[in-house]
Amino acid sequence: MTIFFQICSQKECIASGDLLISMEKKRSDILKRHIEITERGIPRLPQYPDETEFNSDLSNQLYSFNFLAREVGALRKLKRAQKMSKDSAHLDKEIVLRKREAMKLMIFNIGLENELLKLYIKTAVELDTLNENEAEINDVM
């Protein structure tokens, strides 16, 4: 395997990481929109078909990025005996930066999902309480 092939693989991995980061940012926006609407009192927002497809694409992109990062790591191990070029070392650093950024966004999105779940539960409890109160009033009449 040539250094050219390794650098091409690294650049492909970086591009995949950039796409994953942009998709995670879009996921954050979607979750924030759901939180905003749920805070207004709408009990549960259905997932739109484009969101379901997006979530599938996001999972596929995460798999693709992880696969490429592992392949680049395997190439690096094969080349350890040889000195790594400056370009190759720089691209490895860029891959690590993409991994960190993607992980930060994933953790942030997990927090948003937890916040959204708490809001769903709170809204469901409020609706149950309202329904019980309404049922009691109807029983009295």
Reply yes or no on whether the pLDDT at 58 is more than 90. Answer: no
When pLDDT is averaged across residues 101-120 and rounded to a whole number, the result is 91
Distance of alpha carbon 114 from alpha carbon 121, whole angstroms = 11
Query: What percentage of the chain carries pLDDT values higher than 90?
Result: 16
Distance of alpha carbon 125 from alpha carbon 91, whole angstroms = 51
Q: Domain limits at 36?
A: 3-140
Higher pLDDT, residue 74 or 69: 69
Locate the DSSP E strands across 79-122. Answer: none
Give the pLDDT confidence score for residue 59 in this predicted structure: 85
Please count the structural domains in the chain: 1
- pTM over 0.85, yes/no: no
When pLDDT is averaged across residues 110-121 and rounded to a whole number, the result is 89
